Chain A
Amino acid sequence: MPVSDPHPIASLVRPSRTRTLNKLSGLLEPHRLILLALFIAGVLAAIQLMEWSWLPGYLPKLWEGLQMTLIMLVSSVVVGFLFALPLGLAQVNGIWPLRWLATGFCTVIRGTPLLLQLWLFYFGLGALFGQFPEIRDSWAWDYLRQAWPYGFIALTVSFAAYQGEIMRGAFAGVPHGELEAAEAFGMSRRKVFCRVWFPRALHRALPTLTGEIILQLKSTPLVATITVMDLYAVITQVRQTTYLTYEPLLFLVAVYLCLSGILIVGLRWVENRVPY
């Protein structure tokens, strides 16, 4: 990289590149090399000594399960985030019935286990819907008798509640002076919201978003308990048919580690590209 590069970006790129190099050379410290060798030896021993013959036959199913997990994650995060914005705003700035409702919703959802909510939706609402002939005969029944809509709804509601609480903090945390300055420029209330309050709040909430998405990824295997065939459900099936205890679970741990790692790296990359 030329030193006299007139482009200011260069000075921003270089430190991160040297940081990556530092991290890589950190791996080469002697004790880490030994740990790494032990780890590789462990993996090789696991491959040699454990029973992996089930893996090739199940690969297509595992791939489908992985897709289901990712679909559940992405859809619930996107839809949940859309609900989280009004939830956060209503808690900060709403008229009292709205604020009361939004706060109550977040408290109740965050105060009870997701598994319980999931089972309430699936076993409770699912059975209830089935008792009404009007619903049984309608087009919606095609979806409502499957399991995934309930999993999607439970995951979305949970993400919306947790993220809504974060957005509440983000909206409340925008410095008052910035909003007053916008008003002093003669902006209408709506313009203040669109140009200052909302973007600043979003920017404040971004760093916590990565953590929330990882938490959401960790919640997705719960949908396996209501017969949605995600990655965890496929592995459960493997365990039941092959009577193996450790191999499928270790494989699952490895896959989730990779997924989390990819998500963290990807989201950090996105976060770094957000201006200012």
Chain B
Amino acid sequence: MTTVFDFSLLAYSPPGWGKVLLVGFLRSIELAAGGYLLGILIGIAGASGKLYGNKVVRDLLEIYTMVIRAVPELVLMLLFYYVGTDLLSRASSAMGFGGVNIDGLTAGILVIGLVQGGYATEVFRGAILAIPRGQIEAAHAFGMPPGKVLRRVTLPAMTPHALPGMANLWMIATKDTALLAVIDFSELTLVTRQAAGATQYYIMFFLAAGVLYLALTLVSNFALRRFERHARRGLVPAR
């Protein structure tokens, strides 16, 4: 019988790989959080464009969300990664800064954010449509400029409607960071594979990484539920 588990390898200090895994885990969280926030910004802009923009903007955004939803994340990430870094380095050399090297974290956040943005656009669009029309019209009638209407009325009023979808997107973001392992970002999945390959304890290391991912999912699930209950206070429960 061969051994599958040797828990001393998970120790924090160097003969164990614990520190490497935890650093990778933190990097995964950073990537997910950054990408998620960028996705929210893109989503708000995209939803406003889809609802209030002119025909051309609306059609272009429709194409954006359609492509994001129809093409595998892995392919999109590769494409955004190469196109994005290529364009940025070209732009910077054209502006005379010389070739810049985009560090992995920024590129990863950009890539995840662009994918998240496509889904977030749809979530926010639905949430804004769920706001009673009168509330936004009343804000306009008070003479608020569009930016202020968005900040003071639309965004706060749509939050409870957007939360279930956005909670789902956060789960997707945490799991999508694993895909960056394929393009050699040293996040949790990739460092786990390196640790497993070096020690040949594949099952143990992958299970350990799974526990970390699961812990993140369960904790954030709990927190998001609490936040949702807080945001929905005072609303008539659906159905």
User: Measuring CB to CB, which residues of chain A are less than 8 angstroms from any residue of chain B?
Assistant: 29, 31-32, 35, 107-108, 110-117, 119-120, 123-125, 127-128, 131, 214, 217-222, 225, 232, 245-246, 249-250, 252-253, 256-257, 260-261
A32 to B60, alpha carbons, bound, how many Å? Answer: 10
Q: Chain B residues with Cβ under 8 A from A217's Cβ?
A: 72
How many Å from the CB of A136 to the closest CB on chain B?
A: 13
A10 to B121, alpha carbons, bound, how many Å? Answer: 38
Q: Chain A residues with Cβ under 8 A from B192's Cβ?
A: 116
A116 to B212, alpha carbons, bound, how many Å? Answer: 12
Contact B181 A218 (CB under 8 A): no
Q: With contacts A32-B59, A113-B175 known, is A108 near B78, CB below 8 A?
A: no
Q: With contacts A115-B181, A116-B209 known, is A35 near B175, CB below 8 A?
A: no
Q: Within residues 70 to 102 of chain B, which ones have a CB less than 8 A from any CB in chain A?
A: 70-76, 78-79, 82-83, 86
Least CB separation from B78: chain A residue: A249
Q: Chain B residues with Cβ under 8 A from A257's Cβ?
A: 67, 70-71
Q: Chain B residues with Cβ under 8 A from A250's Cβ?
A: 79
The prevalent SS among residues of B at the interface is: helix
Q: Residue A119 contacts which of B177, B206, B213 (CB distance < 8 angstroms)?
A: B206
Q: Chain A residues with Cβ under 8 A from B69's Cβ?
A: 214, 260
Contact A128 B4 (CB under 8 A): yes
Q: With contacts A116-B210, A249-B78 known, is A256 near B203, CB below 8 A?
A: no
Q: Does B238 contact A (CB under 8 A)?
A: no
Contact B182 A218 (CB under 8 A): no
Q: List 7 A-B contacts (CB under 8 A).
A: A29-B55, A111-B171, A111-B214, A113-B175, A116-B192, A116-B209, A117-B210
Q: Residue A124 contacts which of B79, B178, B203, B217 (CB distance < 8 angstroms)?
A: B203
Contact B70 A232 (CB under 8 A): no
Contact B73 A218 (CB under 8 A): yes
Contact B72 A218 (CB under 8 A): yes
Q: Does B196 contact A (CB under 8 A)?
A: yes
Least CB separation from B76: chain A residue: A253
How many Å from the CB of B221 to the closest CB on chain A?
A: 8
Contact A111 B75 (CB under 8 A): no
How many Å from the CB of A177 to the closest CB on chain B?
A: 15
Q: Chain A residues with Cβ under 8 A from B217's Cβ?
A: 110-112
A142 to B33, alpha carbons, bound, how many Å? Answer: 44
A115 to B182, alpha carbons, bound, how many Å? Answer: 9
Q: With contacts A119-B206, A128-B2, A217-B72 known, is A112 near B214, CB below 8 A?
A: yes
Contact A260 B200 (CB under 8 A): no
Q: Within residues 155 to 182 of chain B, which ones have a CB less than 8 A from any CB in chain A?
A: 171, 175-179, 181-182
Q: Does B56 contact A (CB under 8 A)?
A: yes
Q: Within residues 1 to 29 of chain B, which ones have a CB less than 8 A from any CB in chain A?
A: 2, 4
Q: Chain B residues with Cβ under 8 A from A125's Cβ?
A: 203
Least CB separation from A259: chain B residue: B70
Q: Residue A112 contacts which of B2, B78, B175, B176 (CB distance < 8 angstroms)?
A: B175
Q: With contacts A124-B206, A246-B82 known, is A131 near B2, CB below 8 A?
A: yes
Q: Chain A residues with Cβ under 8 A from B196's Cβ?
A: 123-124
10 closest cross-chain pairs (CB), A and B: A113-B178, A260-B70, A111-B217, A124-B203, A120-B206, A124-B202, A218-B72, A113-B175, A123-B202, A111-B214
Q: Chain B residues with Cβ under 8 A from A35's Cβ?
A: 56, 59-60
A119 to B179, alpha carbons, bound, how many Å? Answer: 12
Q: Within residues 105 to 164 of chain B, which ones have a CB less than 8 A from any CB in chain A?
A: none
Q: Residue A116 contacts which of B71, B74, B86, B189 (CB distance < 8 angstroms)?
A: B189
A35 to B176, alpha carbons, bound, how many Å? Answer: 32
Contact A246 B83 (CB under 8 A): yes
Contact B73 A249 (CB under 8 A): no
Q: Does B218 contact A (CB under 8 A)?
A: yes
Q: Chain A residues with Cβ under 8 A from B78's Cβ?
A: 249
Contact B207 A218 (CB under 8 A): no
Contact B72 A119 (CB under 8 A): no
Least CB separation from A127: chain B residue: B202
Contact A253 B56 (CB under 8 A): no
How many Å from the CB of B214 to the closest CB on chain A?
A: 4
Q: Residue B179 contacts which of A112, A115, A124, A246 (CB distance < 8 angstroms)?
A: A115
Contact B56 A31 (CB under 8 A): yes
How many Å from the CB of A131 to the closest CB on chain B?
A: 5
Contact B75 A221 (CB under 8 A): yes
A245 to B74, alpha carbons, bound, how many Å? Answer: 15
Least CB separation from B55: chain A residue: A31
Contact A249 B79 (CB under 8 A): yes
